[in-house]
Every structure is written in C-alpha cells, then in structure tokens.
Amino acid sequence: MEFFNLHTHKWTNQSNVLEIVNQYPQEFDATIPYYSIGIHPWFIVKERIESDLAIIESKIQEANCLAVGECGLDKRIETPMELQQMVFEKQLLLAQKHQKVVVIHCVAAFQELIALKKKLNISVPMLIHGFSKNAQLAKQLVDNGFYISFGKYLLLNKELEAVFKSVPNYRFFLETDTVDEGIEAVYGLAAKYKGISVKEIQEIVNNNLNKVFDLKF
C-alpha cells in the first residue's frame, strides 16, 4: 500500500491506495472494502436519527469500518446547533464505546468542537478533515489532541502552504474528499510544501496510520 486517502466520496478501487470511503447509513454499500459511516450535519433527518444511529452502531463493529463520520458541526447551515450537537454527541459516544476514530466535518464551530471533546472526555483519535483555516487554529487543534487532514483546499489554495508546513509531521493526514485529482497529486504537493520526497511523505503518513488506526501496511 503506497497511498492512504483519509477521506473520499469516490471509491477508486486501486490496489496501491487504501481509501476510507465516506458512507451514509441509508445508502450503505457493502462492496466498499474500507469505510467510515456517520450522520453528516447537512443530512440530519429528525425522524430518522435513532434508526440511523442504530445502523451506525451495527456497522462500526465490523473490522472494515475504520471510523465514525464524517460527522460534526456546521454553523453555516439552517439546522439548529442544538440538534446538530445532540446528533454529534451521540456519534462521539458510539465512537468512544467501540474505540473507533472519528472523522469530523467542522465549519465555524471549532471552539464548540474543542469544548465538546473535553466535556465528553473523548480519548479516541479525532481527525478534522478538509482543513482550510489558519496556522493559529491548526496549532490550537493540535494542542488539544486533534489530527488535521489536508486535501481539496491544499490543492486549491496556495495560502495553505504555510499552514500545512506548520503542522507537525505526526499530526497530519492527506485526503481527496470530492476533488477529481487522485491522492497521488495531494502527496506530491505535500512533499513539495514540506521540502521532502514523496517517499518520505508516504513514510510519515503510514506511521500516523499505524498509530491512529492500529493498522499495519
């Protein structure tokens, strides 16, 4: 396995890529080898919360489910924060109960996220996917035990170079999310920004993968 894609919505089925494909409870595809499953804050359906959570709890007990998510908080949508927080808390508690990593979608709610981690005493790894903010926030997240994943915005926004370089090697992952570029392109840019080879980026990510997911590749 040469490349690890922390978060994607497109399963590419490449033998040299381990990819965690995002899945939703009501649209589960059992043919996907490795996946995360969760209730995204955009897609909360009040009448379906309990049945969705039951599906999530069932699936996360399977070995090829690598994470809960993507789930989280988003202040830029109309769904009330109180409802978002309740749904997110329930998923965090499931992740803690079953010792699964959490892949997080967070928009304009990072302080609430940090507070929630402390309040619930979550000890499983929590990964912020698709990071696009500043180095100060990145440092605050790392200092509070979060991992940060870069991908789509790293490719699209040159200003993220300095932010990415500021994140310690033991705290980052790489992903493609919804972009058409492959994970190899993200690795190439990450290597360029860090001033090291793609092989060294592969070693860094694989070390983080082994540590966070307890997988040996």
Q: What is the pLDDT of residues 49-84, one digit of tens each?
A: 999 999 999 999 999 999 999 999 999 999 999 999
Question: Which residue, chain included where needed, has tokens 């001033």?
Answer: 195
Q: What is the pLDDT of residues 6-39, one digit of tens each?
A: 999 999 999 999 999 999 999 999 999 999 999 9
Q: Is 105 annotated as a binding-site member?
A: yes
Judged by DSSP in three states, 20 sits in: strand
Q: Is 70 annotated as a binding-site member?
A: yes
Q: Please tell me the predicted confidence (pLDDT) of residue 216.
A: 60
Order of strands across the sheet with 65-74?
3-8, 17-23, 35-37, 65-74, 101-107, 126-128, 147-150, 172-174
pLDDT grade, residue 217 (50/70/90)?
Answer: low
Q: Is 7 annotated as a binding-site member?
A: no
Greatest alpha-carbon pair distance for the chain in Å reads 50
Q: What are the structure tokens assigned to 106, written together?
A: 């967070």
Could you please report the per-residue DSSP string of 86-129? HHHHHHHHHHHHHT-EEEEEEES-HHHHHHHHHHHT--S-EEE-
Q: Which amino acid is at 42?
A: W
Angle between helices 135-143 and 110-120 in degrees, nearest 10: 0
Domain extent, residue 204, equals 3-213
Q: Please tell me the predicted confidence (pLDDT) of residue 215.
A: 73
Q: What is the pLDDT of residues 122-136, one digit of tens each?
A: 999 999 999 999 999
Comparing CA positions, the residue from 27, 65, 67, 63 lying closest to residue 45 is 27
Q: Please tell me the predicted confidence (pLDDT) of residue 2.
A: 94
Q: What is the pLDDT of residues 144-164, one digit of tens each?
A: 999 999 999 999 999 999 999
Q: What is the CATH number of the domain that holds 141?
A: 3.20.20.140
Task: Name the pTM for this structure.
Answer: 0.96
Q: What is the pLDDT of residues 170-214, one digit of tens each?
A: 999 999 999 999 999 999 999 999 999 999 999 999 999 999 997
Q: Which amino acid is at 70?
A: E
Q: Which helix H or strand E contains 76, and what residues bound it?
A: none
Q: Is 9 annotated as a binding-site member?
A: no
Length of the chain: 217
Angle between helices 110-120 and 81-98 in degrees, nearest 10: 40
Domain count within the chain: 1
* % the chain with pLDDT above 90: 98
How far apart (Å, rounded) are the C-alpha atoms in residues 182 and 105?
21
Q: Tabulate helix, strand, coil % of the chain (nearest 5).
A: 45, 20, 35
